[in-house]
């Protein structure tokens, strides 16, 4: 399952990371090296094994559906790249 340039481009688009042509070529080699390394997992028979998502098998806690946090919008927006009128500014998405 080795990656070609088209595959690298598809993953980069999914990951929202722009790669230059030179970066894309270098990335292809490195990713294929890593994929080759992790391919050894395929040799193990795991048919009857349950996947283990977390190390300690605890049940998710629930809490009452109540507002517990105070409004700290100003604090959080103070670290944003661009804010106007308490809104985060991004490029226009609807013409």
Partner 1 sequence: MINASLKELSAALAQRKISAVELATLFLDRMERLNPTLNAFITTDRDKTLAQARCADEIRKVGAGDTAASLSDTPLNGIPLAHKDIFCTQGWRTTCGSKMLANFVSPYDAHVVERFAAAGMVTLGKLNMDEFAMGSSNETSFFGPVKNPWDVSRVPGGSSGGSAAAIAARLAPAATGTDTGGSIRQPAALCGLTGLKPTYGVVSRYGMIAFASSLDQAGPMAKSAEDCALMLTAMAGFDTRDSTSLERPAEDYSRHLNQPLTGLKIGLPKEFFGDGMDTDVRAAVEAALAEYRKLGATTVEVSLPHSELSVPAYYVIAPAEASSNLSRFDGVRYGYRAPDYGDLADMYSKTRAQGFGAEVKRRILIGTYVLSHGYYDAYYLKAQKIRRLIAADFTEAFTQCDVIMGPTSPSVAFAFGAKNADPVQMYLSDIYTISTNLAGLPGMSLPCGFGNAQLPNPMPVGLQIIGRWFDEARMLNVAHQYQQVTDWHMRMPEGMA
Distance (Å, rounded) from C-alpha 7 to C-alpha 55?
33
- Find the DSSP H helices in 4-72: 5-15, 21-38
Smallest separation (angstroms) from partner 1 to the CB of 5: 13
Smallest separation (angstroms) from partner 1 to the CB of 77: 8
Give the H or E element holding residue 84. Answer: strand 83-84
Positions in the binding site for partner 1 (CB under 8 A) = 1, 3, 8, 11-19, 27, 30-31, 33-35, 37-42, 44, 46, 49-56, 58, 60-61, 63, 72, 75-76, 78-82, 88, 90-93
- Bridge partner residues of 83 (DSSP): 88
**Residue 6 or 60 with smaller CB distance to partner 1:** 60
The radius of gyration computed from the CA coordinates of the chain, to the nearest angstrom, equals 22
Residue with tokens 């193990």: 44
Smallest separation (angstroms) from partner 1 to the CB of 61: 7
Smallest separation (angstroms) from partner 1 to the CB of 80: 5
């Amino acid at each position: 399952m080795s990656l070609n340039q088209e595959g690298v481009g598809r993953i980069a688009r999914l990951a929202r990371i722009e790669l230059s042509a030179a970066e894309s070529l270098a990335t292809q080699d490195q990713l294929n090296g890593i994929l080759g390394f992790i391919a050894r997992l395929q040799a193990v028979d795991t048919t009857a094994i349950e996947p283990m998502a977390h190390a300690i098998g605890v049940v998710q806690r629930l809490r009452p559906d109540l507002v517990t946090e105070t409004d700290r919008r100003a604090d959080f927006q103070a670290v944003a790249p661009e804010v106007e009128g308490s809104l985060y500014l991004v490029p226009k998405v609807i013409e």
